[in-house]
Copies of this chain bind each other. A is one copy, B any other.
Amino acid sequence: MSRVINFSAGPSTIPLSVLEHAKAEFTDYKGHGYSIIEISHRTKIFEEVLHSAMARVKRLYGFGENFKILFLQGGGSLQFAQVPMNLMTKTGYAEYANTGNWTNKAIKEAEILGINHRVIASSKESKFDHIPEVKFSDDADYGYICSNNTIYGTQYKTLPKCKCPLVVDSSSDLFSRPVDISSVGLFYGGIQKNGGPAGVTMVAIREDLLDRADDTSTPMILRYKTQANADSMYNTPNTFGIYMLDLMLEWIENEIGGLAKMAERNEQKTAILYEAIDASGGFYTGHARADSRSLMNISFNIASGAEVEAKFIDEASKAGMIGLKGHRVLGGIRASLYNAITAQNVKTLVEFMNEFARKNG
């Protein structure tokens, strides 16, 4: 087996050591005579995995006693609807910062649900190439951001401070760096980029926000409180996904050394790629403004056009590097440098890029 380098925007690469761990015990979990994938969620064995993963999330981010960790299904896209369904008060209003495709979709769901909301910042006019200044009103029901924008390759350097509860869609930079959670009311992300496979949504919610949902109209299954009260087992959770998440978080805690170390590693990786783009003499051009560059997704173009970009993607694939095609909204090339990508992986890409520029420049 020759392992490819997978720069996909998600689902995305998982450390080989984590995959091998899961593989080794796939048919016999810790000598119990069954696979973790086929065991009831109502067993001590699975509850240990569940609580281990919840505790790791709390330790990594520093979420205190006043936060509940939930493992839900439905991805970020269901959160776009669940957030307003659960956090709106009867007379209040919500505020959104629009930084790309995912906040657009969140705003769309708020519109459909008919909630009182405003977009207080946007970088739409400049094709979402930067993170605008964001200042939420003190008395908003919540202020909503997406901390990293996969398509446009932009990221908040730090989370905004505000008096209203801050809601953060961290799907594409989850578990990639420490964040200041002092304003956070709800912090969520699909885990399929930095935390394992698709099918689990991590939600950290401040307990005082659990009581806002209107019990007379919000379906039981869509209330955060339902799952908070049931330890995320109101119904059957994605047991294998949570098991894989726990292995990934163990890797981040024990192999990497926590989120500060993870961020350091991610910064080093990204610097290698941005330097190559900046040093290419205009052959490669990055999309994001320098002050808003993401540590996760680097979207760039080749100045000579789409045909050369297609050739780049094709030749990279033949050289064992996949997932480099940009999102259809922006075109071009995108390299996603999630947690499991190594500095050596990025160096291999940069060597290929330099060689390609030399041949096609």
A interface residues (Cβ-Cβ under 8 A, vs B): 1-4, 6, 8-14, 16, 19-20, 22-23, 26-28, 31-35, 37-41, 43, 73-78, 80-81, 105, 108-109, 112-114, 190, 192, 197-200, 215-222, 234-241, 244, 320, 322-323
Contact = CB atoms under 8 A, between A and B. Distances in A.
Given A8-B39, A113-B219, 19 more contacts: A1-B33, A4-B33, A14-B38, A19-B26, A19-B37, A23-B23, A74-B235, A75-B235, A75-B236, A78-B235, A81-B222, A109-B220, A109-B221, A112-B215, A192-B236, A198-B237, A198-B239, A199-B237, A240-B241
Contacts of A20: 27
Contacts of A221: 74, 77-78, 80-81, 109
A111 to B, nearest CB: 10
26 contacts: A1-B31, A6-B34, A8-B39, A9-B40, A11-B236, A12-B38, A13-B38, A16-B27, A19-B38, A23-B26, A41-B198, A73-B73, A73-B75, A74-B78, A75-B236, A77-B234, A77-B235, A78-B235, A80-B219, A81-B219, A112-B218, A113-B219, A114-B217, A190-B236, A198-B238, A198-B239
A348 to B, nearest CB: 14
Given A27-B16, A34-B3, A197 B80 contact: no
Nearest to A105: B220
Contacts of A234: 77
Given A23-B26, A39-B6, A73 B236 contact: no
Contacts of A237: 198-199
A345 B33 CA distance: 15
A61 to B, nearest CB: 22
A19 B35 contact: yes
A334 to B, nearest CB: 11
Contact of A217 (B22, B31, B112): B112
Contact of A33 (B80, B240, B320): B320
Copies in the complex: 2
B199 A73 contact: yes
B240 A4 contact: no
Closest 9 CB pairs of A and B: A199-B238, A81-B219, A77-B235, A73-B73, A4-B33, A8-B40, A23-B26, A1-B28, A77-B221
Given A10-B236, A39-B11, A108 B220 contact: yes
Nearest to A28: B1
A20 to B, nearest CB: 6
A14 B37 contact: yes
Contacts of A222: 78, 81
Nearest to A9: B40
B34 A4 contact: yes
A295 B236 CA distance: 22
Contacts of A190: 236
Contacts of A31: 1
